[in-house]
Amino acid sequence: MKRRTLLAAGGGALLAGCASWPGSAPARGTGDLGVVVARATGQLAVVDTTERRILGTIDGLGDLSHASVVYARDGAHAFVFGRDGAMSQVHLPSRRVLARLMQAGNSIGGAISQDGTLVAAQNYAPGGVRVFDARTLAPIADIPATYTAADGSQQRSRVVGLADLPGRRFVFSLFDADQVWVADLSDAAQPKITKFEGIGRQPYDALLTPDGRHYLAGLFGEDGLAMIDFWSPQPRARRILAGYGRGQQPLPVYKMPHLRGWAVAGRHAWLPAIGRHELLVVDTATWEEVGRVPVAGQPVFVMARPDGRQVWVNFAVPDYHKVQVVDTVSRQVVRTLEPGKAVLHMEFTPRGEAVWISSRDANHVSVIDTARFDTLARLPVEQPSGIFFTSRAARIGL
Amino acid sequence: MKPASVACWLSALALAAAAAQAEPAPDAARQRELVRLVRQDCGSCHGMRLTGGLGPALDAQRLADWPLDSLVATIYKGRPGTPMPGWSALLSEADATWIAQQLRQGFPSEAR
């Protein structure tokens, strides 16, 4: 009898073992997982957004200053892009690095194709985009961002604002060449490049609207943004919000705003004004400016809560201890929070009842209720920067 | 104007000029703040390890040939036409000079 019980228990353990992910973690879903970049230590903290706790860390990821993460469709695998040009494939449930590739000299981010099969990295040095098989990391395409400079020489531009377009396509901006390119990898062996030239001076970052229709590139070299409507039969780049500074002397920009992460709320896009302490509100039906909201500093991230009712904003140094919340109906700042010095990033839980905020110098991540604004949890992470939840896996442009 | 008051005024001017030139070098505590600022905030563009990004790499080999005063001016006043802002709202000229000197020697790491 006793022996039989032992055998049954052993069988149960064996079955549980089969059902689990690689490693020893028990089987679980991935919908409430995420990672927080601990940039000083080159680690990712794997977090659970339901339990609001750190499950463990993933080590050995190199230089994670300005690291970003994109998710595979399973929400279990993710790709980490490091400043040192490394792309790492990690597995959240087992908290392991599965593969690591030094794919460039200097990189700041990547994107995954709509069908989840291709992962692309945007590189500063050597300037261009490299595309890999998302499963094996085998190289698929190398797209140098070559352009003709003013002196007639061939140069490679730094690449910014990479996003996945519907189809096996990627769109990105060339900071040095004032261009936007689309790489179509329907036939991976023969990538087809479409170039939009003269889009405006120094595109510094870009976003794709949640429907995958409009690509907006922020311009550093002039007041305005470049916009391309990919639903148009003949997509072309046009200028929107041109001259928003109205000839005023811009303030110094201590940190480039980040456009990826979206502040498209309902029919309006909320955008950071560069060199000004303002948000610009633009109607995505007409692309006319419909309002401005003064804020506490130079905006860096302007992010809409998933329902679009609020927009949360953080700021460049020296105002980076603050976070402001704008009500999108009244277009008023309704709350100013101080969750800890050097706020670098914010991420909403999938349905937006809470937001996670990293405070680099305070060495913690705050979890804040977005209806009542009280702090639900505070988690210790050494110099936290980017926060990336698995809900990104299901969204285009992230 | 009496010669004595002219002399007095001139010496006051000279003193003021000397004071502007000889702002005290940052003390140890300020130096730690500056190291953090360069690694973390300049690091947004130049990389936390100063290996470059949207801004160029700031390694000693590259900067050793730069005249010190032009490096100080770049930090303090920025470089028009590029994303490099002037940091004069956050740094004194003495701070900028100290940072430039450290960059040319190989910038220190943050104390952990």
Closest Cβ–Cβ partner in B40, B52, B90 for A125: B52
B3 pLDDT band (50/70/90 cuts)?
very low
Using the beta-carbon criterion (under 8 Å), do A65 and B48 form an inter-chain contact?
A: yes
Q: Which two tokens stand for residue A305?
A: 């809560």
Q: Which among A347, A344, A350, A353 has a CA at the least distance from the CA of A373?
A: A353
What is the C-alpha separation between A363 and A359, in angstroms, rounded? 6
- DSSP annotation of A27 reads P
Distance, in Å, from the CA atom of A167 to the CA atom of A63, rounded to the nearest integer, reads: 32
| pLDDT per residue rounded down to tens, chain A (398 residues) | 344 444 444 444 444 444 445 555 567 899 999 999 998 888 999 999 999 999 999 998 988 888 899 999 999 999 999 988 999 999 999 999 999 999 988 888 999 999 999 999 999 989 999 999 999 999 999 999 999 999 999 999 999 999 999 999 999 999 999 999 999 999 988 999 999 999 999 999 999 999 999 999 999 988 899 999 999 999 999 999 988 876 677 888 888 888 886 789 889 999 999 889 999 999 999 999 999 999 999 999 999 999 999 999 999 999 999 999 999 999 999 999 999 999 999 999 999 999 999 999 999 999 999 999 999 999 999 999 999 999 999 999 98
Looking at this predicted complex, what is its ipTM? Answer: 0.78
Tell me whether residues A202 and B48 touch, CB distance under 8 A. Answer: no
Q: How far is A301 from chain B (nearest CA, A)?
A: 14
Q: To the nearest whole angstrom, how far is the Cα of B64 from the nearest Cα of chain A?
A: 22
**pLDDT for residue A203:** 95
Whole-model pTM above 0.90?
no
Task: Determine contact: B107 vs chain A, CB below 8 A.
Answer: no
Q: Dihedral sign for Cα A293, A295, A300, A304, please.
A: negative
Contact B54/A175, CB-based, under 8 Å?
A: yes
* Interchain contact, A254 vs B85, CB within 8 Å: yes
The verdict on a CB contact (< 8 Å) between B54 and A83 is: no
CA distance B12 to chain A (A): 34
B-facing residues of A in 336-395 (CB < 8 A) are: 342, 360-361
Q: What is the pLDDT of residue A126?
A: 92
Which residues in chain A have Cβ-Cβ distances shorter than 8 Å to B75? none
**Token pair of B101 as six digits:** 């000197």
- Work out how many CB contacts closer than 8 A connect A with B: 68
Q: Verify whether the Cβ–Cβ distance A256 to B83 is below 8 Å.
A: yes
